[in-house]
């Protein structure tokens, strides 16, 4: 049977697909059919010309009928002509002499042990930029969640700081393409996040203290191409990593998509070099051995030779796609452990999968004077970023605050 025969004019049930295609193929074909029908089923009007997505310098001059909107504490709904109308808010006292329109509501107060909805957007469209800031002490006690098209389980569930490559509750500037962190704690995401029906962004405060958060979420209302996947991000932590086990960056991904990035907050619990472990990608039925296997942790993040440059110290760097953006050194008293922040974006080299994906990393050290490798028991937290079809597999239950917290 030719794949071209399967269409709205000649539909097949899932059971019929199973009969005509091997297990690997029928899921692939089904995913394509779902994508091809998404916009039509929802009655999205066909936009003539450029839809305003997939931007870059090469397409910046192209004009589009996409509508730009932005949600913040000064315009909670993003409605046209509704910004700066607040008469109450966190800035009301400072604006008492100037009045409405003069920064009356620049931020929100998130109560202790509560969830605040940052944005609810009706689609189709795509989030194109998010900016947020709050004090560093809250970066692991706030959890960012994003839901697409009315789903009940989030596609993004990551502590606030880790999502922005700052997992240690201490600011580290990042100058990458999708994530930028600027003085003194301005968190920016340029991950493009398309949706077809709706988008809902929430942030949960797990702590017993209120949090003041400033934020702005900019998006386009526009037609979404059928072949655009949904953005996902998931956090994991192994603290400490059990002896001779690997840290799982992500597993259980099911569907058709591509992996686009990794952030790791790595806390070392021993002396010596710690980054010999390999990053491995198990895809589309791989079991004991992966399809893609790296050669060392610093190699995966685009460095080499222990990140040591100049001699005797770690060379911190932040580039569009790769970075060792943070090195936290012991102070000889209460700060006893070395801690690192690293990112790798697979923007120019996405890891494509059609059925499933699992990503792991080893914690491995050299032994002074040679000899066998040393399996480490470090504190490793990670964020996996990827795009895929929906629905997605359920995420593991996020641990409570005491497991998330940085000590």
Q: Which of 391, 407, 340, 402 is nearest to 172 (CA)?
A: 340
Do residues 157 and 258 share a domain?
no
Q: Report the pLDDT averaged over residues 315-325.
A: 98
Same domain, 171 and 85: yes
- Position 307 confidence tier, pLDDT thresholds 50, 70, 90: very high
If one compares 45 and 173, the residue with the highest pLDDT of the two is 173
Same domain? 330 vs 354: yes
pLDDT of residue 167: 98
pLDDT of residue 49: 82
pLDDT band at 142 (very low <50, low <70, confident <90, very high): very high
Q: Of 259, 241, 242, whose CA–CA distance to 251 is shortest?
A: 259
List the Cα angle 52/180/329 in 5-degree steps. Answer: 165
Structure letter (DSSP) for residue 260: E
Q: In terms of domains, do 33 and 122 share one?
A: no
Contact of 343 with 174, CB cutoff 8 Å = yes
pLDDT at 69 over 50: yes
Among candidate residues 5, 9, 29, the one with its CA nearest the CA of residue 17: 29
Q: What pLDDT is recorded for position 50?
A: 84
Q: In Å, how far are 117, 118, 154, 193 from 200, measured between CA atoms?
A: 7, 8, 9, 12
| Domain-ending residue, one of 188, 221, 254 | 221
Task: Name the DSSP class of 21.
Answer: S
Q: How far is CA 103 from the centre of its chain?
A: 30
Q: Is residue 380 part of a domain?
A: yes
pLDDT tens by residue, 230-274: 999 999 999 999 999 999 999 999 999 999 999 999 999 999 999
Same domain, 278 and 351: yes
How far apart are the C-alpha atoms of 393 and 255, rounded to whole Å? 8
Q: What is the CATH number of the domain that holds 103?
A: 2.60.120.1390
Q: Does 9 reside within a domain?
A: yes
In 284-402, which ranges are E strands?
292-293, 317-318, 322-328, 339-345, 351-353, 356-361, 364-365, 374-375, 379-388
> Is residue 3's pLDDT more than 50?
no
In a shared domain, residues 289 and 359: yes
Give the pLDDT band of residue 59 (cuts 50, 70, 90).
Answer: confident
359 and 384 in contact (C-beta within 8 Å)?
yes
**What distance in Å separates the CA atoms of residue 372 and residue 10, rounded to the nearest whole number?**
60
Q: What local confidence, expressed as pLDDT, does residue 5 receive?
A: 41
Total domains in the fold of the chain = 3
Work out the average pLDDT over 213-220. Answer: 98
DSSP string over 126-165: EEEEEEEE--GGGTTTEEEEEEETT-SS-SEEEEHHHHTT
User: Is position 397 within any domain?
Assistant: no
What is the rounded distance in angstroms from the CA atom of residue 263 to the CA atom of residue 297?
12
Give the confidence band of 343 by pLDDT, cuts at 50, 70, 90: very high
CB 251 within 8 A of CB 392: no
C-alpha 384: how far from chain center: 6
**Residue 296 belongs to some domain of the structure:** yes
C-alpha distances out from residue 243 to 361, 363, 364, 374, 376, Å: 13, 9, 10, 10, 7
121 within domain boundaries: yes
For the segment 283-294, the average pLDDT, to the nearest whole number, is 98
Domain co-membership, 22 together with 104: no
- Would you say residue 11 has pLDDT above 70? no
Mean pLDDT of 336-363: 97
Kindly report the average pLDDT of the chain as a whole number: 91
In a domain, 403, yes or no: no
Quote the pLDDT of residue 36: 47
List pLDDT tens digits, range 21-55. 554 454 555 554 454 444 444 444 556 788 889 88
Q: Let me know whether 203 and 288 are in one domain.
A: no
Do 315 and 265 fall into the same domain?
Answer: yes
186, 68: one domain: yes
More confident residue, 17 or 325: 325
pLDDT average, residue stretch 116-126: 97
- Better-scored residue on pLDDT, 119 or 40: 119
> Is residue 377 very low, low, confident or very high in pLDDT (cuts 50, 70, 90)?
very high
Of 198, 208, 203, the C-alpha closest to 187 is: 203
Nearest of 80, 141, 136 to residue 111 by alpha carbon: 141
Q: Which of the listed residues 221, 243, 272 is the one where a domain comes to its end?
A: 221
* Among 118, 116, 86, 114, residue whose Cα is nearest residue 102: 86
Instruction: Establish if 52 belongs to a structural domain.
Output: no
Is the residue at 400 inside a domain?
no
β 339-345/351-353 pair status = unpaired
For residues 232 and 186, give the distance between their C-alpha atoms in angstroms, rounded to a whole number.
22
- Residues 234, 160, single domain; the answer is no
Q: How many CB atoms lie within 10 A of CB 314?
A: 18
Report d(CA 66, CA 49) in Å as an integer: 10
Judgement on whether residues 310 and 368 belong to the same structural domain of the protein: yes
pLDDT of residue 364: 97
Pick from 221, 254, 285: which residue ends a domain? 221
Percent of the chain residues past pLDDT 70, beyond the cut: 88
Q: What is the DSSP secondary structure assignment for residue 14, as one 8-state letter?
A: H
Instruction: Report pLDDT for 287.
Output: 97
Residue-level pLDDT at 19: 55
Question: Is pLDDT of 7 > 80?
Answer: no
C-beta separation of 120 from 196 below 8 A: no
The two structure tokens encoding residue 351: 């890891």
The range of the structural domain enclosing residue 188 comes to: 57-221
């Amino acid at each position: 049977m030719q794949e071209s025969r399967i269409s709205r004019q000649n539909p097949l049930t899932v059971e019929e697909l199973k009969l005509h295609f091997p297990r690997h193929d029928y899921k692939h074909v089904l995913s394509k059919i779902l994508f091809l029908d998404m916009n039509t089923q929802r009655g999205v009007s066909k936009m003539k010309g450029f839809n305003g997505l997939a931007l870059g310098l090469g397409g910046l001059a192209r004009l589009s009928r996409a509508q730009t909107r932005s949600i913040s504490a000064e315009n909670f709904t993003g409605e046209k002509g509704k910004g700066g109308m607040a008469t109450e808010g966190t800035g009301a006292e400072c604006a008492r002499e100037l009045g409405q329109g003069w920064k009356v509501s620049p931020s929100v107060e998130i109560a202790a042990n509560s969830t605040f909805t940052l944005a609810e957007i009706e689609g189709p469209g795509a989030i194109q930029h998010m900016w947020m800031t709050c004090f560093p002490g809250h970066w692991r006690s706030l959890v960012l969640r994003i839901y697409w098209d009315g789903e009940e389980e989030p596609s993004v569930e990551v502590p606030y700081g880790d999502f922005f490559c700052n997992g240690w509750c201490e600011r580290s500037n990042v100058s990458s393409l999708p994530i930028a962190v600027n003085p003194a704690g301005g968190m920016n995401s340029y991950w493009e996040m398309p949706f077809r029906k709706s988008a809902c962004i929430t942030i949960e405060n797990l702590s017993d203290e209120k949090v003041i958060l400033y934020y702005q979420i900019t998006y386009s209302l526009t037609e979404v191409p059928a072949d655009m996947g949904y953005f996902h991000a998931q956090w994991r932590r192994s603290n400490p990593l059990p002896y001779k086990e690997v840290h799982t960056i992500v597993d259980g991904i099911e569907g058709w998509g591509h992996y686009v990035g990794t952030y790791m907050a790595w806390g070392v619990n021993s002396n010596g070099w710690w980054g010999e472990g390999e990053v491995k990608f198990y895809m589309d039925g791989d079991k004991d051995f992966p399809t893609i296997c790296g050669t060392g942790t610093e190699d995966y993040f685009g460095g080499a030779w222990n990140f040591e440059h100049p001699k005797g110290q770690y060379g911190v760097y932040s580039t569009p796609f790769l970075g060792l953006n943070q090195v936290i050194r012991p102070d000889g008293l209460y700060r006893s452990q070395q801690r690192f922040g690293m990112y790798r974006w697979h923007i120019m080299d996405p890891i494509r999968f059609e059925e499933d994906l699992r990503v792991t990393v080893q914690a491995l050290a050299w032994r002074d004077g040679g000899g066998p490798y040393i399996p480490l028991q470090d504190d490793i937290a990670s964020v996996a970023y990827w795009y895929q079809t929906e629905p997605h597999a359920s995420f593991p239950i996020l641990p409570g605050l005491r497991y998330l917290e940085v000590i």
